[in-house]
Amino acid sequence: MKLVWLRRDLRVEDNTALVQACASGEPVVALYIATPKTWQNHALAPIQADLIYRRLFELQKDLAAKNINLYYAQVDSFLDSVQLVTSIAKQQGVSGVWFNKEYEVDEQLRDAKLIGMLEQAGIDGIGCDDKCLLKPGSVVNKQGDYFKVFTPFKRAYLEKMYRQAVVVTKVTPVRTQGTVQSSQIDEFSSQCPFDYPRQTSKRYPVNMDAIIKRLRDFERLSVSNYHLQRDFPAIEGTSELSPYLAIGALSIRQCMARLMFEQQLPLSGGREIWQSELVWREFYQHLTYFEPKLSKGKSFTPWGDNLVWKKSDSAFSAWKNGTTGYPIVDAAMRQLNQTGWMHNRLRMIVASFLIKDLHLDWRLGEQYFMSQLVDGDYPANNGGWQWCASTGCDGQPYFRIFNPVTQGEKFDPQGEFVRTWIPELQDVPDKFIHQPWKWINAKALSYPSPIVDHKTEREITLSLYKEAKER
């Protein structure tokens, strides 16, 4: 019998570990293990926990259709989960444990520990590269080193991807259903413990047909205009498929295959831009694999750790709660707090504001995002924050600092998005919607004045970064 340990790969089709385990011809069982203490340490968002929980019920049905049982257990930590998997494999006479690799440090240590314990027990432990379309180490420069700049990475990545077909693999049903008799696990049900805070994720359907329909509808109806609409938060111009990629309900291959279906290569327009976003995701996964320090709170650039950060609980609280006095920043943070999602353009604006207007450590924002985002994925989140902090691999130059007023005026010109999330500004004219303190009736508003002056803070940032780089 083969055991497939599922983690952030909550799908049946195009699941490399599952496909390969089934190809063995032996009975297959699947296992999911909740690890609330590790999740807490990793700041897993309650809304993402709920998405995972809901998806497990649908995954159980999807697996049952392939004659595969889904078993479930809850333990405290990653180490406990390794010990549990090894114990079950030994008790049940499992010949091989299959899993899909993850590239963060804790996850790599977990998997190395698993393989070591399984080897001692005479059981095969097979890790598959499934999270990326092209595995880390397969896209390198002429010197054989990983890329540190996105554009040449993308060029090499696409060249290699175009040379090989993007294959989405199917699971072949096994003839004999595998069963496990163990007091340590149960078949997944609503009675199983899931002791982690949950916030409703009902906005996101978890039925596989509905998820695939979202992908196909975006490709069919929206992707051609993606490059024109993606920066405007009042427009539904993005795919919003990132929550499914984050928990593995969709694979990168499924997205790329749908995007390129019956298209002439190379892609152009909205398709090319969305493809770039998918490749950015791959870029950050590869970086996480090659640079363990990124999983340990370190800056990619050595001088990044020389930056001097301000400590202000009141400023951080205002940023978190959407009360900074800058409407585009506050509307974005309120959207995040209420929905668990934030438009990508707004993620850059609020990150820049935290780092370069408030001079607060980017790690505070990084962790807060992870604790709130339904699509929280460590490599992408870390990469995005370090890009904005100018400390990351191919980060934004430190002297390019988003102006929260002009960003709002450019990407929410009529203030439609701002008014959606800040009803206090409902009556402010368009001319003043992004700087309401200049409106003649500003004193009557139940909305705060700006907590900092952007022009002043910009000069301070330039000085702080210049100092850090010279030190």
Q: Which residue has the tokens 């993308």?
A: 154
One-letter amino acid for residue 39 of the chain: W
pLDDT class of 13 with cuts at 50, 70, 90: very high
> For the whole prediction, is pTM greater than 0.85?
yes
Chain mean pLDDT for the chain: 96
Residue 314 labeled ligand binder: no
Q: How do residues 79-130 score in pLDDT, each as one tens digit? A: 999 999 999 999 999 999 999 999 999 999 999 999 999 999 999 999 999 9
The residue from 67, 207, 306, 344 that is catalytic is 344
pLDDT greater than 60 at residue 49 = yes
Candidate list 98, 362, 387, 421, residue with the active-site label:
362
* Domains of the chain by residue range: 2-131, 133-168+209-290, 302-470
Interval 227-270: pLDDT, tens:
999 999 999 999 999 999 999 999 999 999 999 998 999 999 99
Q: Residue 471 — very low, low, confident or very high, per pLDDT cuts 50/70/90?
A: confident
218 is in an annotated binding site: no
Q: pLDDT at residue 175 above 60? A: no
The CATH T-level fold of domain 2-131 is: Rossmann fold (3.40.50)
With a cut of 90, say whether residue 226 has pLDDT above it.
Answer: yes
pLDDT (0 to 100) of residue 35: 98
Q: Given this model, what pLDDT does residue 237 score?
A: 93
Is 268 annotated in some ligand binding site? no
Q: What is the mean pLDDT of residues 293-303?
A: 96
In which band, very low, low, confident or very high, does the pLDDT at 174 lie, cut at 50, 70 and 90?
Answer: low
Asked if the 133-168+209-290 domain carries CATH number 1.25.40.80, the reply is: yes
- Give pLDDT, residue 173: 66
Give, to the nearest 10 degrees, the angle between helix 344-352 and helix 362-372: 150
CA 237 to chain centroid: 19
Choice among 26, 277, 291, 457 that is catalytic: 277
Same fold across 2-131 and 133-168+209-290? no
Q: If you average pLDDT over residues 312-341, what whole number do you get?
A: 98
Average pLDDT over residues 47-57: 98
- Residue 27: is the preceding peptide bond cis (ω within 30°)? no
Alpha-carbon 90 to chain mean position: 34
The confidence band for 182, taking pLDDT boundaries of 50, 70 and 90, is confident
Give catalytic status of residue 362 as yes or no: yes
**pLDDT reported for residue 276:** 97
Comparison of pLDDT for 301 and 167, the residue scoring more: 301
How many alpha carbons lie under 13 Å from residue 203 in its C-beta half-sphere? 14
Question: Is residue 67 among the annotated active site residues?
Answer: no
pLDDT over 70, % of the chain? 99
Residue 306 has pLDDT above 70, yes or no: yes
* Catalytic residue status for 277: yes
| Residue 238 known to bind ligand | yes
226 marked as part of a ligand binding site: yes
Is 187 marked active-site? no
Active-site choice (280, 319, 387, 421): 280
**Superfamily designation of domain 302-470:** DNA Cyclobutane Dipyrimidine Photolyase, subunit A, domain 3 (1.10.579.10)
Place of tokens 């709920």: 50
Mean pLDDT of 303-320: 97
Which residue among 26, 187, 306, 309 is the active-site one?
309
pLDDT at 165: 83
The whole-number pLDDT of residue 395 equals: 82
10 Å CB burial of residue 339 (0-12, 13-18, 19+) is middle
What pLDDT is stored for residue 178 in this prediction?
Answer: 81
Whether 214 has a binding-site annotation, put simply, is: no
